[in-house]
Amino acid sequence: MPSTPRRHFRLSSLCLLEASTLLLLLLVAVPLKHLAGFGLGVAVMGPAHGLVFLGFCWTLVNRVAAQELTGHVAWKLLAAACLPLGGFYSCRMLRNAAVATEIPLALGEAQS
């Protein structure tokens, strides 16, 4: 199956969403729980981040199975997802790869 702009945009968006939920969990919810005794933030953000992370992993597995990503790139994306700012690195890496292969990431972008 050929890579389409929408599929690349979806993976890139999932990288950003996963990184954002992890940062919210680590920098907002956990300190609120431990410093202010407000555990609701972790109770909400923990499962939300877990769901986004599972969706990200599922998308990676699908991309490797469809031979749209190599196993090496998928492992790099997965390893980066485990780091607090890694998702932003992954998004940049995917966008650079898309530019290098002339695949537009957003709908409506014209190819050069």
pLDDT in tens, 21-76: 999 999 999 999 999 998 999 999 999 999 999 999 999 999 999 888 888 889 99
- Does some domain include residue 24? yes
- Does some domain include residue 110? no
Where does the pLDDT of residue 103 fall: very low under 50, low under 70, confident under 90, or very high at 90 and above?
Answer: low
Residue 75 domain boundaries: 5-100
- Does some domain include residue 36? yes
DSSP classification of residue 36 = H
* The predicted structure's pLDDT at residue 43: 95
Torsion of CA 30, 58, 67, 80, to 10 degrees: 10
- Does some domain include residue 69? yes
Q: What is the rounded average pLDDT for all residues in the chain?
A: 85
- Does some domain include residue 61? yes
- According to the per-residue pLDDT averaged within each range, which of 78-82, 91-95, 99-103 is highest? 78-82
What's the alpha-carbon Rg for the chain, to the nearest Å?
16
- Number of domains the chain contains: 1
- Does some domain include residue 10? yes
Cα–Cα dist 47/50, whole Å: 5
Cα–Cα dist 32/12, whole Å: 29
- Does some domain include residue 105? no
- Does some domain include residue 107? no
**Interval 90-106 mean pLDDT:** 72
